Amino acid sequence: MRTRIKEFRARYDLTQEDLAKIIGVRRQTILFMEKGDYNPSLKLAHEVTKVLKTTIDELFIFDD
């Protein structure tokens, strides 16, 4: 799975640390999600999309 988290963070001028604090996770969690090394729970994915004002379908790219 790939993500567009970094792209959407840039739209709102948020650092990984900023996004992590808002959501209540460690910065490393955001880093690992951006790199595709961590598949978030549905709850966490939903929290990220709320902050970045997008949808799960727009933010997460599911590879076949």
> Which domain CATH number covers 39?
1.10.260.40
Gap between the Cα atoms of 62 and 26, Å rounded: 24
Domain of residue 28 covers 2-61
Flag whether pLDDT at 2 surpasses 80: yes
Into how many domains does the chain fold? 1
**Rounded to 5°, angle at Cα 54 from 52 and 12:** 30
Global pTM value: 0.90
pLDDT, tens digit, 9 for 90 and up, residues 7-44? 999 999 999 999 999 999 999 999 999 999 999 999 99
**Under a CB-based contact definition with an 8 Å cutoff, are residues 54 and 46 in contact?**
no
Flag whether pLDDT at 62 surpasses 70: yes
One-letter amino acid of 10? A
